[in-house]
Structure 1
């Protein structure tokens, strides 16, 4: 288990931007910097930026590395189920991948009545809805209860600043968002991926509650798993050992709670309108500790903490020099 004090020397050694002029076709996303290479390849550099409220709040040491390496673990564990976009990992923060046409549906798989957003099944259920995403849920379910069966709750992929909107399988086909056969293939793959994730998480004392997947197709129409898989940012995990007791007591299940920063900001300002106060160092370090703990718990592998801080961008530039 990583101690916060061990992280203190790394507080300022974060990757805010991965601007590398020698690489072509730079696109800066909320948390990733992308470069399109010849030959249908793409470089994805995971920064340490923490995004919320449609803005960048701060940077968390090792966040980009944790997300990249957690996804790497899961891509390896699921490559027998579906092909993925990975070509190689030249750096702990970087994946070189196959450039795909991303399907315009975000595929969210859920095992529990949970969530906080307006499109979560818990929010919709508490508002009185029982028919959602083409699925009918029974009356009498309590917060964070196990669903009668694993369900897929697809949403549109909104532009930055907009909100995802719920979809039903019927709408996906009737509106021509995806052909019926392709949607059925994606659903079959997503359920198999989730079953694998649930099984391996159980071995680590975790419940895989829900997750989102992104799929893309190559020039021949073959479906690939893209983006990330089963990371702390794309998935919700609860601790199995305390789940029953906490739910019985009406408490929120114990999880990798990375929302310290979001909660702290929202208590002090309107984050959509006001200037955000400087995030305290102790909060940044605690968030880094949670990310690293999540990596170690999910993968069962130790996180290799450098003895001394070394500039992240310099390391990445050196490891990507062959692509200049």
Structure 2
């Protein structure tokens, strides 16, 4: 807009007695004095309630972090004391004294996703991996033996023994990424009601809190494999629960699942794989084709024992109810 057009518009406002125009000859500028409040568009109406955009890409990790943050902000205590002995770490070299923390978890997950279960890795391969992630080579023999136990331990499920080393390459997928649409806004209150009514683990867990969410729920599943025409989900856990295998029994593992809210994780994974299998299997049936979820707490794995392994097949009613919530 040039000066002449601006002056025309200002003169129109002057005629309506909205503004007064004075000619400032010193600075050769227009000086505008406002006489009354002027709205050239309708006066805005303000809502008392804040509108938040619930659409986003979220994940189990993010929902869990929101839960911790909201609980902390409200100064509430959600986790019970499960009276588990806090064992000190063993100074001897073993899987129980292997370094803990995020870096160790990344290392072990990298090893597991790099494996061809039917081929044994050499000691030099483990040394190279330790060097890559800046760990001491002194752990190479421990790590090699540990991984051997993990892939050869018989996993007992419903009177059958599953062994990772016996899986054919074409029968499993590692690090599968999924995107699960959340079409309806998901509220933690409704979510809690469903999972505590239909999941035996969630029943004993405190309520989880997260902001209303819609959009996409994404995640990575460590391993999906087929065994005797059933699909299974396996997730590796590097959590340190205690100084020896006695701390990796069902009781300790269930307490850890409740504490870390891994029940929410396997529920999300179950919905994702259920929706996926419906699209790829003709005449798909949840009970016929889905085998369930396995959590392997790797520090408790010992060859020929079912120690450190948690298994669950979520009730189909739970899956149905959760799908209704997000669809």
Q: Which interval holds the TM-score relative to the shorter structure?
A: under 0.3
TM, length-normalised to structure 2: 0.24
TM, length-normalised to structure 1: 0.24
